Structure 1
Amino acid sequence: MMKSIVSILVLLLHIPMYQLTQADIIDELANYFKAGNAKEIGKEFAPSVELIIIDQEDVYNKAQAEQILKDFFIKNPPNKVTVIHRLNSSQNYRLGIFLLQTKTGKFRVTVTMKKNYNAFLISELRIDPDKE
């Protein structure tokens, strides 16, 4: 019993800490979108973010991007989020695609994250009306 516990601890010590804290970043983001929590999503933004929301597109700093996302959630209160695709096999890149159902309609959300030092940060966030 003690030998297996020691083996697990040794194994965990070989996993970089950022991988433990960001292991399920796509799922965390999906939960933040479901809650309409622009503040928590904003914590994951890179210093500058390419933000495309419906027909508005530009590069913004973290604070501006968070405010624009907050405004989107005010106009489109979320009901449900489904992760429809994820790419997490690259060491330097993550991608998540969500179906976001709101009180005003359905949207397809694409989140692109790039590795910045030891963490993945959102470099691009795209919200388009769902074409279904």
Structure 2
Amino acid sequence: MLLFGATSAFAQEAEIIDLVEEALKSSSSREISKHLHNKVEIKLDGERNEYSKNQAEVVLKQFFQDNTAESCEFVHQGNNNAGGIIYAIGSYQTSSVSYRVVVRAKKFSKEFKVYRLEFTKER
């Protein structure tokens, strides 16, 4: 039973990271908003703000309109078992700019939700 619980938690962790990666690849604020917590912190190239889920969808929609993805790939994933936090780090490529993207999620009630997204322009 313990093994099943650990496997199930790992599957949930991997699933949310994969779903967020696919939403980023398609520059879909609607798809990514399905995985956001009610309060989410978004950092866009140094400017950090906290938004409600609905506000975050609007902010991301504008970002994606201005920065449509040509590709997105997470190159590192990990977790902080003590804090129940999972994260992924990768690159988000547009036709003219490359961003380092960091996604952080944790379990709220019974499912993982993204509580922080960061996009930092590569210099």
TM-score bracket relative to the smaller structure: 0.7 to 0.9
The match for 2:119 is: 127
2:15 equivalent to 1:24: yes
Is the contact made by 1:22 and 1:119 (CA closer than 8 Å) also made in structure 2?
A: no
The match for 2:39 is: 48
Query: What pairs with 1:1-132 in structure 2 (closer than 5 Å)?
Result: 14-15=4-5, 19=9, 20=11, 23-88=14-79, 90=81, 92-131=84-123
Structure whose alpha-carbon radius of gyration is higher = 1
* TM superposition score normalised by structure 2: 0.85
Paired positions, count = 121
Stretches (4+) displaced over 4 A: none
Displacement after TM superposition at 1:15 (Å): 4.2
- The aligned amino acid for 1:123 is Y
Displacement after TM superposition at 1:123 (Å): 1.0
- SS of 1:63's equivalent in the other structure is helix
Displacement after TM superposition at 1:41 (Å): 0.7
- Structure 1 CA distance for aligned equivalents of residues 63 and 104 of structure 2: 19
Displacement after TM superposition at 1:21 (Å): 5.0
Superposed CA RMSD in Å reads 2.3
Deviations for 1:42-101, whole angstroms, at most 9, x for unmatched residues?
A: 111111111111143211100001110110000011001111111146271110112011
- Structure 2 CA distance for aligned equivalents of residues 123 and 96 of structure 1: 12
In structure 1, the gaps of 5 or more residues are 1-9
The match for 1:3 is: none
Distance change (3 Å), C-alpha of 1:118 and 1:35? same
- Structure 1 CA distance for aligned equivalents of residues 50 and 37 of structure 2: 11
Query: Taking every aligned residue pair, what percent have the same amino acid on both sides?
Result: 28
